[in-house]
Amino acid sequence: MMAFHPPEAYGELNEGVSRVLFSADEIAIKVGELGQQISADYDGRFPLLVGVLNGVVPFMADLLRAITIPVEVDYLAIASYSAETRERGLVRLEKDLDETIKNRHILFVEDMVDTGLTLNYLLRNLRAREPASIEVCALFSKPRRRLIELPIKYKGFDLPDRFVVGYGLDYRGKYRNLPFVGLLKPEIFQP
- Contact set for ligand 5GP, span 119-158 (CB under 6 A): 119
Shortest distance in whole angstroms from residue 74 CB to ligand 5GP: 17
CA–CA dist 83, 70 (Å, integer): 37
Residues touching ligand 5GP, count (CB under 6 A) = 17
43 catalytic per annotation: no
- Determine, following the binding rule CB under 6 A, whether residue 179 of this chain makes contact with ligand 5GP: no
> Which among 142, 146, 150, 129 has a CA at the least distance from the CA of 76?
129
Q: Hey, which bits of the chain come out as E strands?
A: 17-22, 48-53, 72-78, 93-95, 105-113, 133-141, 154-158, 164-165, 181-184
Give yes or no for residue 101 binding ligand 5GP (CB under 6 A): no
Q: Is 176 in the site for ligand 5GP (CB under 6 A)?
A: no
Which of 184, 155, 191, 186 lies closest to 19 in space, CA to CA? Answer: 184
Sheet of strand 164-165, all strands in order from the earlier edge strand to the far edge: 17-22, 181-184, 164-165
Amino acid at residue number 119 = L
**Short-list 93, 62, 99, CA closest to 80:** 93
Q: Considering only residues 58 through 97, tell me which ones interact with ligand 5GP, judged by CB under 6 A.
A: 86
Q: What one-letter code names the amino acid at 52?
A: V
Judged by CB under 6 A, the stretch of 15-23, 27-35, 42-50, 107-115 that binds ligand 5GP is 107-115
Q: Which is nearer to ligand 5GP, 24 or 164 (CB)?
A: 164
**Binding of residue 163 to ligand 5GP (CB under 6 A):** yes
Min. distance of Cβ 123 from ligand 5GP in angstroms? Answer: 12
Closest approach, Cβ 121 to ligand 5GP, in A, equals 8
Catalytic residues: 114
Residues that bind ligand 5GP (CB under 6 A): 55, 86, 111-119, 163-165, 169-171
